[in-house]
Amino acid sequence: MRYLIAHETPGRIRFDLRGKIPETDAVAFEELFSQLDSVKRADAYPKAGYLAITYRAATKRELRDARRRVIEKMDALSYSEIKQWEPADSIALAPRPRHLISSVATMLVLQLLRRVLLPRPLRLVWTIISSIPFWTLGLKSLLNKRLDVPVLDAAAITLGLLQGKPDTSSNIMLLLNADDALENYTHRRSESGLIRSLLTIPSKARRAFESGDERDVEIADLHIGDVIVVRLGEQVPVDGTVIRGAAAVNQSSLTGEPLAVTREVGDTVYAGTALEEGEIFVRVEDDPHASKLRNIITMVEQSESLKSSDQRHVEQMADALVPWNFLLAGTVALVTRNLSKVSGALMVDYSCALRLTGSIAVMTAQRESAQHGFVVKGSRYFDHMAEADTIVFDKTGTLTTSAPEVESVVAYGGWSRDEALRLAACLEEHFPHPLARAVVNKAFEEGLEHREEHAGVEYIVAHGIVSSLRGKRVVLGSERFVIEQEQVVVTADELDEIHAHAAGMSPLFLSVDRRLRGVIYIKDPLKRTARRVIEELHEEGFEHVIMLTGDNRKSAERIARECGITEYRADLLPEDKYAIIQELQNAGRKVCMVGDGVNDSPALSVSHVSIAMKAGSSIAREAADIALLSDDLESLVELRRLSRMLDRRMRHGYNTAIAVNTLLIALGIIGAIKPTLGSLLHNGTTIALSALNTRRYLPKETKRVDIDHPIA
Domain boundary among 169, 189, 209: 189
Verify that 324 and 384 share a domain, yes or no. Answer: no
Which residues of the chain register pLDDT less than 50?
88-92, 201-202, 256, 303-307, 702-712
Q: 43 in helix, strand or coil?
A: strand
Verify that 176 and 279 share a domain, yes or no. Answer: no
Is 606 within a domain? yes
Is 137 within a domain? yes
Measured distance CA(152)–CA(350) in Å, rounded: 11
- Bridge partners of 522? 406, 506
Task: Say what the pLDDT of residue 636 is.
Answer: 93
Measured distance CA(505)–CA(406) in Å, rounded: 10
Measured distance CA(176)–CA(155) in Å, rounded: 13
Write the CATH number for 73: 3.30.70.100
Distance between alpha carbon 56 and the CA centroid of its chain, in Å?
A: 30
Task: Say what the pLDDT of residue 448 is.
Answer: 85
Q: Read off the DSSP letter of residue 482.
A: I
Q: Could you report the per-residue pLDDT of 653-663, keeping only the tens digit for each?
A: 888 888 888 89
Backbone angles phi, psi at 46, to 5 degrees: -60, -40
Domain boundary among 495, 523, 551: 523
Verify that 410 and 516 share a domain, yes or no. Answer: yes
What is the separation, in whole angstroms, between the first and last Cα of the chain?
Answer: 51
Verify that 359 and 392 share a domain, yes or no. Answer: no
Verify that 114 and 167 share a domain, yes or no. Answer: yes
Percent helix, strand and coil across the chain, each to the nearest 5: 50, 20, 30
Closest by CA position to 434, among listed 516, 550, 514: 550
Domain boundary among 629, 659, 683: 629
Reported residue count of the chain is: 712
Verify that 607 and 473 share a domain, yes or no. Answer: no
Verify that 344 and 280 share a domain, yes or no. Answer: no
- Tell me the chain's radius of gyration from C-alpha atoms: 31
Task: Say what the pLDDT of residue 452 is.
Answer: 60
Sheet holding 609-612: strands in order across? Answer: 374-376, 626-628, 609-612, 591-595, 390-394, 544-548, 567-569
Is 708 within a domain? no
Is 302 within a domain? no
Type and span of the H or E element at 158 = helix 149-162
Verify that 426 and 512 share a domain, yes or no. Answer: yes
Task: Say what the pLDDT of residue 129 is.
Answer: 94
Task: Say what the pLDDT of residue 220 is.
Answer: 74
Is 643 within a domain? no
Verify that 538 and 595 share a domain, yes or no. Answer: yes
Verify that 613 and 546 share a domain, yes or no. Answer: yes
Verify that 414 and 495 share a domain, yes or no. Answer: yes
Verify that 558 and 623 share a domain, yes or no. Answer: yes
Is 253 within a domain? yes
Is 60 within a domain? yes
- Rounded to 5°, the CA angle 218-220-222 comes to 80
Q: Could you report the per-residue pLDDT of 46-79, keeping only the tens digit for each?
A: 877 889 999 988 788 888 899 999 999 898 888 7
- Bridge partners of 702? none
Measured distance CA(48)–CA(149) in Å, rounded: 40
- Bridge partners of 544? 390
Closest by CA position to 408, among listed 477, 516, 491, 501: 501
Is 146 within a domain? yes
Domain that holds residue 256: 223-287
Strands (E), 362-501: 374-376, 390-394, 405-411, 458-460, 464-469, 472-477
Burial code (b: 16+ CB inside 10 Å, e: under 16) for 86-125 equals ebeeebbbbbbebebeebbeebeeebeebeeeeeeeebbe
Structural domains of the chain, count: 6
Task: Say what the pLDDT of residue 706 is.
Answer: 37
Burial code (b: 16+ CB inside 10 Å, e: under 16) for 41-59 equals ebbbebeebbbbbbbebee
